A and B are shown apart, each in its own frame.
Chain A
Amino acid sequence: MRTLFLLTCALLMAQVAHGASAHSTGAVPDLVDQGRYLATAGDCASCHGTSFAGGDAVPSPIGKIYAANITPDKQTGIGSWSLAQFSDALRNGKAPDGYLYPAMPYPSFTGLTTGQIQALYSYFLLGVPPVSNNPPQTSLPFPFYRPMMGVWNALFLEQGTPTGAIKVSGDVQERGRLLVETLGHCTACHTPRGQLMQQDSKRHLAGAMVAGWWAPNITPGTDGIGGWSNDQLSTFLMTGHTDIAVAAGDMGKAVSHSLSKLSKDDIDAIAAYLRVVPAVASDVPKRTASTQTSVIDVSALEPAGTTDWQTMLGHDTTDGNILYQSACASCHGIDGKGSNDLKHPSLLRLKSITGPDSATLVQVIAHGVNRKVGDTHTLMPSFRSSMSDGQIASVANYVSTKFGGVKGEVSASQVATILKGHVETPWLIRYARWLAILAIALATLIVVALAWTLIRALSHRRGRHV
């Protein structure tokens, strides 16, 4: 009943919004620069590509969702969309050809004002070169068909208010809220999700697993960014590199494409807002402490040289000592302390090592770091092709235990799961297909029963008449 009510309300509101924006003007050349900056802050490029022609797959527990072509190409892009349609897609998750999946962060973008929408529209229509490209079609299994997202929106989309955004006062914090909650859609990764992939607003920004990476807690508590200095926070956002954290994977992309291109004032506003969101404690079990070691006696942990060719050319050891000293120490040092300028980070300080989850450490060993910020290209090589899952686990455990001060306990099979990008699927989604079939069967049964009762009642009445 509630769903039906919400759905009706949503439809009515959508109608109102539609009606209002229909009268606005379209793309305006003067708004292109503003729109470009908003698109940068919205990090559209990370999913839609730097040319915005789409095609990258956004992984989800339900299946791959392909980013659309959002260049102004008339056939394959959004060139023929009206401002109203554009607005409807960004704020309500509804494109002209059907509902969007919330992999497109419209539950965040819904906080955009009409003016900001128009600036974005002006940029995408006038400031982006059209590219003809048909990205692969997203095809999720039953019952997650596009029309079902209407129901999802009715349940979880709070129009005009990004999920989890808090009330703040003052220009700086309000600007920060726009950048964090609306444009930056930080929640899309950093907030854990519930049974139907809706964001868990009680654990807003408290850390979540995304496609095999750990997106850490960024609330102001001790489990989050409470211990970070303002300088560490802003340097991380602008460059992706500090003494305690290095941006890799999707965060690396967010820094490359978006955060590094924002003004210092905006970076400070993001930091200011993150300092005032409610602190949420981590719900991940605390890890067992180990003794941090920075004195390594290499001779004690290495076998004497051998001339046996099979020993020399075999490479299946899972001894973390040997693997670390052979593959990692040349940059991070035999003692894990990195280089003096910390361009090669100290493994005694990195949050991805000392933090609650080893997934990111495993991902970085496997895939390396490849981040371009302006003219600075930071690259750690990938070890996926030269180490087995078991060897990656050994390196992760060695680094955690020896340098990170927390006991490393990742297994080879966990490494395999992490690298597959696996995220634990909520049971409602896992069984959604059967639940939906069951629901349909139940509904059919009720309809049949009702019909049966009706027919019987009618025939009774007739009988009486007869």
Chain B
Amino acid sequence: MKQYILKRIGISVLVLLGVSMLLYGICRMVPGDYVANMTAGNQNITPEMEQRMREVYGLDKGVVEGYVSWLKDALRGDFGTSFIYQESVVSVIAKYIGPTVSLAGISMLLEILLAIPLGIIAARKQYSRTDYTIVAIAIIGISLPSFFFAAVLKRVFAIGLGVLPVSGMVTARADYVGFAHFLDLGKHFVLPIIVFVVTGVGGLLRYVRTNMLEVLSADYVRTARAKGLPERKVIGKHAFRNTLIPVVTMVGGMIPNLFSGAVITEGLFGLEGLGNVALQAVYQGDIPYLMGFNMFIALMTLVGTLVSDILYAVVDPRVRYN
């Protein structure tokens, strides 16, 4: 096991290197070099000034040269200064990670709490009205473009009924502190979380249902039933535990989603999270930020797969790595 993990980490480093090369190439190809964007529309900028600014931002170097210097700095832990924010990339990420992680974390928790019981109920009553209803609602959720759903929610709850804030993270006029501030934040997070959960729960729910169906038709469940165990025990003790195995691995694979941020939901609800910042960075060609952030996500993706593989072994003792 230990050896397996070490080997996987070694491979991950290679993959990261490959990803960083590709990413840098892509970043340099991003439409809109930062200097051009900054000076666009300004009638008084001379070509000379532009040239000088390119030098200041290191945009005059070739792709290969630029990559090598980026890599050298990155290995020393220096991911550079964000062009837009004029601050170090790490501190920009640290600054905006809060809302993103709490939003994604709460939503993920709710998704799991909803998907597992509902999926099990649907599976137990396959082809019944309950099953159809649960599946239909779950699938409607994942069949909606998130921006569409968010816009409708905003229209109904924030503008129409006025019960929830339209957007933003805190009530501007009030200077809440402590618990009141926390509640205020919570109120602003309700709609975004609904969007997340409704558009996200379907996938997990369906997965739970399928796995449960499979488990329910397995021989050991039949045996358990045959020996006269009460249904509650059959489900709770035998079926449920075995359903958990694939679910756990799927959840492990969701780790990077915690950090990658949701460009659209964050944007529509005016939350200052990583997704929103990343989109700005793409549009404006903020290469240091894009590199730093995307490498972070790549790392998280690799960690996610590794964790889910290890979890698999933990919950399923039959799995052995060699």
Q: Do A and B bind each other?
A: no
